[in-house]
Structure 1
Amino acid sequence: MKVTLSDVLQLSVLRNAQVVSTPDLITRPVADIMIMEGHDVEKWVEPDEIILTSLVGYTEETESTFVSLFRRLGELQCAAVIVKLGRYLQHIPPAIKKVSMAIGLPLILIDNHIRYRDIMLQVMELLFTETNRQLRYYREINQQYVALMAESPNTRALLQLLSTILGNPVTIVGGIRWADRTDQPDGTISHETVTPHPANKLHSRSYFHHAFTRASTQHSEVLTKLNVPGTAPQFLCIAESSQPLSDSDYIAVDTAVNFISLQQTIQTNLENVKRTQFNDAIDSVINETHETTANFPAILSEHGFDPTREFFLVYCEAGIDSTADGTFFEKNPVFTRHLILNTQSRFPHCLYRIWPNRLLFIIQADMAIDAVQAQLLTMAQQVTAEKHRQYQPHVVLSPKIPFAQFKETSEDCLSVLLLASIIYADKPFFVVTKNDLGIYQLLLNHLNTQDLEAVIPTELLAMHRAEPDLVDTLHAFIAHLYNVTDSADNLYIHPKTMSYRLKKMTKKYHIDLRNTDTLANLMIGINLLKLI
């Protein structure tokens, strides 16, 4: 533990000293001691330092100068001022006593026969002994972690060792906000409840203290950030369930953080290497590079897959309009990781490949395609409900396929994804299969403009070229089941304006708005116009 003012007052040289202070101030820490016999001492004073002085030069004329000096010492968080009486002053000046009490600066009064040298010698010896004890403790803790890293280098073992040393549970949490830790409805911690821990010389890291209530019981946790490059922010979290952390505990935590960060960095680098190899393997399979394709069943087996089973391919993109530079997943690693973990929690046998703006999931076919599509749809709805600022889920699901059909199916999925992104451009998200495109799947390999124009109703094509805003009006009218008011609301226009436009397209372009077959063909034509 750190040396406190109370420890200093127990020294033989100060046992008879008179203390002018409130009891709570006697527990403040002490880090050093120095002699002050000048008004510029504030240039050298550091926090938690004891000042020795005889108040030489104190007179009625200089009283205000000394009062200002003592006030400044309080601002500098001086531990205490020891005043030697009998050499220059017989009594402590009332003004000095008053300002010291006002600012919470302890005064220790000693007799003239006590030498500065004796005081400094005993205080420095006390500080040295404590520093030496801390170094021995640090060495012991460090040796335990070195031995553990040599024997069983894994994060779980490192956390368990720290938990044993502290006598408190220790976990790793992601970010300053995390789930399931408070009584708040969304299960998060607001930034206002996480406050910086007071720093001292025993530890150089930044700590955060979090107090909260769960099940009507007060809880307290201490957090500090792990230094793992290239990963989402992670914090070491110590629950003060048994006892608050002592100063020695912070030495153990500092040491543990270094080893845990090292282990996490090593693990991250290994995972990145494996991920790169696996990405290369998937690319080779998709491109039918023979060497890797032949080895891919073994890679699937290594990840817990049965290569003789069938698989689903799931391609996922961020919406075209939301990421013009095509690097959404690359620029949002935290969100991407969350999306991957969410997918893997729903599909245990799931591998993935990441591109800057596209994800590929390879899912072992352990369930029917409609069940897989329902799960993916639920995920897309959840993400949309969270109103992520950029992400718009565009998802395509393949049918069940054997490993040998990966390349052909991958090409089909990308074609479906391109076509669906155009057809469903006005939707916040979509999760489709090739069959969901209906008649449009016939166009997957025939996206020639002239061919498309040949199957679009003539009156619709003419209206598109002359008055494209009427096409938008017709689209809204059909999409909202021929309801004029709802259609107008969707277009942000007045219902009378909507009615006027409908009459105009009826008279000018001879469109029969009462014939449902005609309207169905027109809706197909409108979607085909998006492809031109």
Structure 2
Amino acid sequence: MTLTVRDILDFESLYESELIAGMKGLQKEVTGIMVMEAPDIEAWGNFGQVCLTSFFALENLSLTETKKFFIKANTIGIAAFIVKLDRLVKKIPAHFIEECNVNQIPLIKIQKETRYEAIILSVMETLINKNKVLLDRYYMISNQFTNMALREPRLKDILALLEDLIPNPVSLFKNNSIIYRSINLELGDFHVSKSTKLAKKRYTNFEYQRQVVSHTDLTAQHYSQLSVEIPSLGTDVYRLIIHELNQKTTEDDFMAIENTVSSLQMELLKKYALQQQNLSHLNEIINDLIYARYQTEEELAEILHFLNLSKKDNIHLVIFDLSVESNRKKVKREDSESILNTLSNYISIRWSKFVSLVKKDKIIFLICNSDNDQGFSEKITVAINSFTSLSYYSQLSFNIGISNKSNVTDLHLANKQANNILKILKLTGQKNKIVSYKDLGIFQLFLETNNIDELIKFVPEKILEIQKTKPELNKTLRVFLDHNQNFKTTAEELFIHPKTAKYRIERLIKLANINFENPEELLQINIGLRLLEFIDTTL
């Protein structure tokens, strides 16, 4: 229980005392007492301190200096002033009384015969006894939580113990969704109208907010809550709420709450470590499957059993690449895991059977389905668009590669297909593209080469020479062919004048001797221009 100024007025040593000013500050906490000898209160004052004085040290202060002194005292948190008048100071100045009222600091006058020693002894004895009681209670509470920790408790076991120790109901939230509700009261949604950060005290280690809320399940009346975030790893945010429906949280209650938060933190850290261990093992198993790192049919059967897959499953492998250059900061693993969790929700709406993993800045899905390649590509595009419509991910840059449908024994080939798509997109500097292997058309033939740079041999020599010296001409030619040799639409896409487009084509005809009437020649040029987009032409 907190010792207040009102409490010390009941001490026998202050029996004949008189409260002169600062009546509104009687609930101030008392943490110590001392004799004031000088006005430099910022040098020796402490929160909750009661100051014994004859006011002789303040007698020569001007009105301005007196005002500053009491402002400092209020800022520090001085609990009260006890003044004894004697032969040096006969009367408490009126402006002293006024400042005590303004700053709500109780001013207590004692008789000349009252001994300072008696007051100091009674205050310190009470504080020492109070601290002993607090220490005993802390030891008792700490023992209860320690014994419970040895039994490997669930989160609700920890919260149930807290409810036995404090008079108010509690709730636990995960990412703003309630996961534990007090059995003492049905608490529904609430609206926070005000939130104030509490100053840390000597017995608190965590950050607390006091919130004024209204519960929709109760009445329109406002209630007070104590809210504290549980420090944890990962992307999930846990918050403990103390519903102060019965009484405000006391110093004793804080002891129980502090132990509860520490216990919850420990359990959440254990839970996170176990999840990461399981996730790491799962990722290894999936990697063994998509890289064909199994030697026998028995090993493959074990992998499929662990992943709840079957040899009969038809699977599309989808790689979500977050390493595109337009992402300002390097994507962290926890960011990728958060994206995976959100993406999985959209995947699960359409397909019930899939596995996934995070690999650096890539997210890989193995999705079991009965769709053909085109149908699957359309469905996954709808799922991705739904995901990117969320405001939180609307600025995210990515590329997506989708393999052909594969059986489980050919997933290593599907993995290669999806990665080759991403390699092409990266080399061409594209972003926010969703490309399936079937979309590549004839370029699938070129991707079968082990060295993508060997593709340069399929580019006509005259086009390759122009690329090295006048790449803007090749770009114009590509757009010109894409628009059925129309100068106007070519100019519009390139943001140039039609005359400029015509001039460039005429130069190409002269430099490369291109015959636009020969369809076979145009086909070779078209293929060569597209290959130039994803090979290193500096070789």
- Identify the TM-score tier after normalising by the shorter chain: 0.7 to 0.9
Which residue does the alignment assign to 1:284? 288
Deviations 1:248-306 (A, max 9, x none): 33322211111111112222222233333333333334444447984464455456555
Is the contact made by 2:39 and 2:58 (CA closer than 8 Å) also made in structure 1?
no
- Root mean square deviation of aligned Cα: 4.4
Structure 2 residue 468 is matched with structure 1 residue 469: no
Q: 439, 444, 448: which one pairs with 1:441? A: 444
Which residue does the alignment assign to 1:231? 234
CA offset at residue 78 of structure 1? 0.8
Call closer, same or farther: CA 1:96–1:218 in 2, change over 3 Å: closer
Which residue does the alignment assign to 2:357? 353
Is the contact made by 1:18 and 1:109 (CA closer than 8 Å) also made in structure 2?
yes
**TM-score calculated relative to the size of structure 2:** 0.77
For residues 98 and 77 of structure 2, what CA distance do their matches in structure 1 show? 17
Which residue does the alignment assign to 2:532? 529
For residues 342 and 335 of structure 1, what CA distance do their matches in structure 2 show? 11
Which residue does the alignment assign to 2:24? 24
How many percent of aligned residue pairs carry the same amino acid? 19
The aligned length equals 508
Deviations 1:98-132 (A, max 9, x none): 33333333211121232223322332333334434
Moved more, 81-90 or 514-523: 514-523
CA offset at residue 420 of structure 1? 4.1
Structure 2 residue 204 is matched with structure 1 residue 208: no
Which residue does the alignment assign to 1:184? none
SS of the residue aligned with 2:438?
A: helix
SS of the residue aligned with 1:83?
A: strand
For residues 174 and 6 of structure 2, what CA distance do their matches in structure 1 show? 38
Q: 245, 256, 277: which one pairs with 1:273? A: 277
SS of the residue aligned with 2:441?
A: helix
Is the contact made by 1:373 and 1:397 (CA closer than 8 Å) also made in structure 2?
no
For residues 217 and 489 of structure 1, what CA distance do their matches in structure 2 show? 65
The residue identity in structure 1 corresponding to 2:434 is: V
Call closer, same or farther: CA 1:381–1:506 in 2, change over 3 Å: farther
Which residue does the alignment assign to 1:170? 171
Moved more, 285-294 or 250-259: 285-294
Moved more, 230-239 or 30-39: 230-239
For residues 286 and 365 of structure 1, what CA distance do their matches in structure 2 show? 17
Deviations 1:173-193 (A, max 9, x none): 45xxx699xxxxxxxx99x98
For residues 366 and 149 of structure 1, what CA distance do their matches in structure 2 show? 49
For residues 377 and 24 of structure 2, what CA distance do their matches in structure 1 show? 64
Which residue does the alignment assign to 1:501? 500
Is the contact made by 1:476 and 1:487 (CA closer than 8 Å) also made in structure 2?
yes
The unaligned stretches of length 5 or more in structure 1 are 181-188
Call closer, same or farther: CA 1:365–1:241 in 2, change over 3 Å: farther
The residue identity in structure 1 corresponding to 2:266 is: L
Moved more, 143-152 or 409-418: 143-152
SS of the residue aligned with 2:95?
A: helix
Q: 310, 317, 321: which one pairs with 2:325? A: 321
Structure 2 residue 231 is matched with structure 1 residue 255: no
Call closer, same or farther: CA 1:288–1:462 in 2, change over 3 Å: closer
CA offset at residue 341 of structure 1? 0.7
SS of the residue aligned with 1:321?
A: coil
Is the contact made by 1:4 and 1:27 (CA closer than 8 Å) also made in structure 2?
yes
Which residue does the alignment assign to 1:199? 200
SS of the residue aligned with 1:27?
A: coil
Which residue does the alignment assign to 1:406? 411
The unaligned stretches of length 5 or more in structure 2 are 179-190
Deviations 1:478-497 (A, max 9, x none): 77999989877765x4xxx3
Deviations 1:456-495 (A, max 9, x none): 5x7755653443224444556777999989877765x4xx
CA offset at residue 163 of structure 1? 5.8
Q: 379, 388, 392: which one pairs with 2:384? A: 379
The residue identity in structure 1 corresponding to 2:410 is: Q
For residues 525 and 480 of structure 2, what CA distance do their matches in structure 1 show? 11
Is the contact made by 1:475 and 1:523 (CA closer than 8 Å) also made in structure 2?
yes
CA offset at residue 444 of structure 1? 0.9
Is the contact made by 1:344 and 1:350 (CA closer than 8 Å) also made in structure 2?
no
CA offset at residue 149 of structure 1? 2.7
Is the contact made by 1:506 and 1:513 (CA closer than 8 Å) also made in structure 2?
no
CA offset at residue 434 of structure 1? 1.4
For residues 173 and 41 of structure 2, what CA distance do their matches in structure 1 show? 45
Call closer, same or farther: CA 1:116–1:420 in 2, change over 3 Å: same
SS of the residue aligned with 1:240?
A: strand
Is the contact made by 1:54 and 1:87 (CA closer than 8 Å) also made in structure 2?
no
Call closer, same or farther: CA 1:210–1:272 in 2, change over 3 Å: same
